[in-house]
Homo-oligomer: A and B are copies of this chain.
Amino acid sequence: MNRQTDDLLKAELERLTQMNAGYLGYPLARDFSFDALAPFLNLQINNVGDPFTPSSLTIDTKEREIEVLHFFSKMLRASIENTWGYVTNGGSEGNLYGLYLAREAYPNGMVYYSESTHYSVKKNLHLLNIPNIVIRSLDNGEIDYRDLDRTVKLRRHRPAIFFMNVGTTMTEAIDQLDKIKAIITKYALKDYYIHVDGALAGIMAPFYKEKPKFDFQDGIDSISISGHKFIGSPIPCGIVLCKKEHSDRIAKSISYVKTKDTTITGSRNGLSPLIIWYALKKLGVSGLRQRYESSKELAEYTLTQLTLIGYDAWKNKNAITIVLKKPSDLICKKYQLAVQDDIAHIICMPGIEKSQIDALIDDLKETVFEKPPLVEDFNAMMVEF
């Protein structure tokens, strides 16, 4: 039995190692090593309840968790005193939490979000039982501001909850806060809430040459960012940050529970805060910046190569995601490209080698046939036929 268990475990490790090396289409950095954390696997760790409230049993890593939250608070220009948050089990939980805060702020609110939004959002809106409307997207994946305008216009009597993407799943598009705010101003909305899904790009955008508006100084109410994506982690994780007034509202409404715990779960993972903390300490701000610069360079290189071989591809400014015409199933599988309808994407995450991009380009080159005839030529052909 135990022999068999060990064999199975070994096989699992080998398979995962192999699968980790191959993918080009998923937003998961793989250049990390957490060997230093191995001894923690033999300990009970539990960051139960509120990160800022000491546990009665201190088998937690709350001090490290708070350091992580402060790091992100600074990066997102939040006031340390007026900001609350915690390390989540991934981007979806952070979005769930942000929408929960929004619902409590405006029980009669309507959520607006683009059709490019991650599918888990719809799922969690259902869980939270909040009315919501999907807004069309522009071709690049940004929310269609005209459609948003028209839709909000008809519902000026309801508080508006804007779910804003900073890096959509498929094209890494960033919704423009200024344009959303213009709609808020146009319709004199006084009751509104802005949550940001910064799953992938929330940690990179502060390093853009022209930083997009999406942080607390810019006027958002809450944000969710993944830890396992750009930093990389064996466990899905992330952070959620919000204005303290919102988490205080929750604390108040559940105060009859006699707990200060406003997190979603009771027992909370104490290993992932340690993972994010360790990575942030090792990288530092300069390491993160460098990491983004390298990814962006590789993305630009990839786009150039695709263009050179005449393959249909494009990317959003600053993005590390290249959108391309869906290659053959064989190629998509070989390079583990993520596909949606007739497009696919490559995400140049830390850990991807230039040689892997070159190999893909070589394979794609062979599939670029002469371009199909233009409509005029086609008509001419038909006449000749």
Q: List residues of chain A with CB under 8 Å of any chain B CB.
A: 1-2, 5-6, 8-9, 12-13, 15-17, 19-20, 23, 25-26, 28-30, 32-46, 56-59, 61, 64, 89-93, 96, 100, 118-120, 122-124, 126-129, 226, 228, 232-236, 253-254, 256-259, 261, 264-272, 274, 278, 281-282, 284, 336, 338-339
A274, B5: Cα distance in complex, Å: 11
In the complex, are the beta carbons of A271 and B234 less than 8 A apart?
yes
Within 8 Å by CB of A20, from B8, B43, B258, B267, lies B43
Q: Which B residues are CB-close (under 8 A) to A59?
A: 16, 19-20, 23, 28
Additional A-B contact list (20), CB under 8 Å, known A41-B234, A122-B254: A5-B281, A5-B282, A16-B45, A20-B59, A23-B57, A25-B57, A35-B41, A37-B41, A38-B41, A42-B234, A44-B232, A44-B233, A45-B234, A92-B265, A92-B267, A119-B257, A126-B253, A129-B129, A235-B270, A236-B268
In the complex, are the beta carbons of A254 and B126 less than 8 A apart?
yes
Q: Which B residues are CB-close (under 8 A) to A33?
A: 41-42
Given contacts A2-B281, A16-B40, A265-B92, contact A236 B122 (CB under 8 A): no
Q: Which B residues are CB-close (under 8 A) to A256?
A: 122
Q: How far is the CB of A282 from chain B (nearest CB, A)?
A: 6
A355, B166: Cα distance in complex, Å: 56
A284, B1: Cα distance in complex, Å: 9
In the complex, are the beta carbons of A236 and B267 less than 8 A apart?
yes
Q: How far is the CB of A273 from chain B (nearest CB, A)?
A: 11
Of chain B, the residue at the smallest CB distance from A47 is B236
Q: Which 8 A-B pairs have the closest CB atoms?
A: A236-B267, A120-B266, A38-B38, A5-B281, A34-B41, A92-B265, A92-B266, A90-B267
In the complex, are the beta carbons of B265 and A120 less than 8 A apart?
yes
A278, B8: Cα distance in complex, Å: 10
Q: Which B residues are CB-close (under 8 A) to A2?
A: 281-282
Q: How far is the CB of A295 from chain B (nearest CB, A)?
A: 16
Within 8 Å by CB of A42, from B32, B40, B43, B259, lies B32
Q: How far is the CB of A287 from chain B (nearest CB, A)?
A: 10
Q: Which B residues are CB-close (under 8 A) to A123?
A: 254, 257, 259, 261, 264, 266
In the complex, are the beta carbons of B36 and A42 less than 8 A apart?
no
In the complex, are the beta carbons of A42 and B46 less than 8 A apart?
no
Q: Which B residues are CB-close (under 8 A) to A261?
A: 119-120, 123
In the complex, are the beta carbons of B16 and A43 less than 8 A apart?
yes
Within 8 Å by CB of A44, from B20, B41, B274, lies B20
A1, B285: Cα distance in complex, Å: 12
Q: Which B residues are CB-close (under 8 A) to A20?
A: 43-44, 59
Q: Which B residues are CB-close (under 8 A) to A254?
A: 122-123, 126
Of chain B, the residue at the smallest CB distance from A118 is B266
A29, B42: Cα distance in complex, Å: 11
A236, B20: Cα distance in complex, Å: 25
